[in-house]
Amino acid sequence: MSYLIDGLQYSNWSEAIFHELRAGGVDAVHVTLVYHENFRETVANIERWNRWFERWPELIFQGFTADDIATARASGRTAIFFGAQNPSCIEDDIGLVEVLHRLGLRFMQLSYNNQSLLATGCYETEDTGLTRMGREVVAEMNRVGMVVDMSHSGERSTLAAVEQSARPIAITHANPALWHPARRNKSETVIGALAETGGMLGFSLYPHHLAGGSACRIEDFCTMIARTAERFGTHFIGIGTDLCQNQPDSVVEWMRTGRWTKAIDYGEGSKDAPGFPAMPGWFRDNRDFRNIADGLRVAGFSTAEVEAIMGGNWARFFGTSFGAAAAGTVAKRAAE
C-alpha cells in the first residue's frame, strides 16, 4: 500500500485546509507546533489542536505511532504528527523531552537559525557543534522515540548529530545546496551522511530554497530529486513541503525574530521586510501533490520509487523512530 506523507507543514490551519488535505489524499503530515514557544505555550498549542481534533474528527486526528498512518488511510482521514522547529519547548530541562513525547511531540530540531542550548543554527558565523546538553538531549530523544531534526542547523552541528544519535536523524525540509546555495540547504557531505545512516531528507518547496524561487519549474524540482537519487539512492528521500498556507506575513517575523532581538531579522540577502513568497504555480496547496508524483515519473522514477518518495520512505522511518528504544540500545551505541 502506498502512502502520501508530508514531512513538514506550518499552515494557518482551518477547516478549509483540513478538507484540502483530504482532497489531496494526504495520509499523514508532520506539523510545526513550536517556533520559539516555551513549554507552557507549547501545551497551549497542543490544547488548540485538541479542539480541532474534537471539532473535525472526520477529517483529522492526532498521530502517535506509524500504525496511525494505516488508520488514517482506512478511515479516510489525515494523521497529524507534532514537531518543534526549536528546542525552546524543553527550556533548560531535559526531563521535558519525555513529557512532550507523551503529549505527542515526535520531532524536534536541535536549533532553529540561531545558537540554542543544544546546537548551532545555520545563520550563526561560528558552528561549535553539539553542546554538552545537546549530546544528552539527543540520547534522551533516542530513548523515548523523538526524531532529531537538523533542518535549520549548521553543518558541523548536523554532522555531529548524525554521529551522536543512536537512531537515524531527519532533515525534514531542505534541499541540496549544490542545486541552490541557500544558507539552509545542505551540502553533499551532510546528504551523504544521512543516506549512509538511514536518515531522511524531505525536499522543500519553500521558494527561498528553490532555484528560481517562486518561478521554479516542476521539471527542475524533480530533476534535483533525480540527481540526488542517482548519487545517494532513493531509500532516504521524501517530501517536506514547508507549506505555510494562508499565514500572514507577520508570522515570518515571529519565525526569524522570536524574542531574541528587538530588531527585524530580514533574512539572507534580503533588504525587504520579511514575508511569505508565493508558492510555485504547480504546488498551491495539498491538492497538488499529484503534480509532484507525475513530475517524478517524467524524471524517470519507477512507480515503486515514486511511491517511496511520496510517502513510503517516511512511513518506514516513522515505524522505526517513534517507539521507545530497546533496552540497552542507546547505551550500546554511545559506547561504540
**42 CB neighbour count, 10 Å cutoff:** 22
pTM score, two decimals? 0.94
What is the pLDDT, as a whole number, of residue 161?
A: 98
Which 8-state DSSP code applies to residue 259? Answer: T
In a domain, 56, yes or no: yes
Annotate 255-294 with b (16+ C-beta within 10 A) or e (fewer). bbbbeeeeeebebeeeeeebebeebbebbebbbbbebbbe
- Overall number of domains in the chain: 1
What is the pLDDT, as a whole number, of residue 332?
A: 42
- Domain carrying residue 51: 5-331
In a domain, 254, yes or no: yes
In a domain, 336, yes or no: no
CATH number, domain containing residue 163: 3.20.20.140
Provide the phi-psi class of 114: left if phi over 0, else alpha when psi is between -120 and 50, else beta: beta
In a domain, 246, yes or no: yes
In a domain, 95, yes or no: yes
What does residue 156 show for φ and ψ, rounded to 5 degrees?
A: -60, -45
In a domain, 98, yes or no: yes
**Which amino acid appears at position 334 of this protein?**
A
Residue with cell 545512516: 197
Of all residues in the chain, what percent are helix, strand and coil, respectively (each to 5)? 45, 15, 45
The C-alpha atoms of residue 139 and residue 121 are separated, in whole angstroms, by: 20
What is the pLDDT, as a whole number, of residue 1?
A: 57
List per-residue pLDDT tens for the chain, 336 residues long. 589 999 999 999 999 999 999 999 999 999 999 999 999 999 999 999 999 999 999 999 999 999 999 999 999 999 999 999 999 999 999 999 999 999 999 999 999 999 999 999 999 999 999 999 999 999 999 999 999 999 999 999 999 999 999 999 999 999 999 999 999 999 999 999 999 999 999 999 999 999 999 999 999 999 999 999 999 999 999 999 999 999 988 888 888 888 888 887 766 545 555 688 899 999 999 999 999 999 999 999 999 999 999 999 999 999 999 999 865 555 544 544
The C-alpha atoms of residue 11 and residue 40 are separated, in whole angstroms, by: 21
In a domain, 189, yes or no: yes
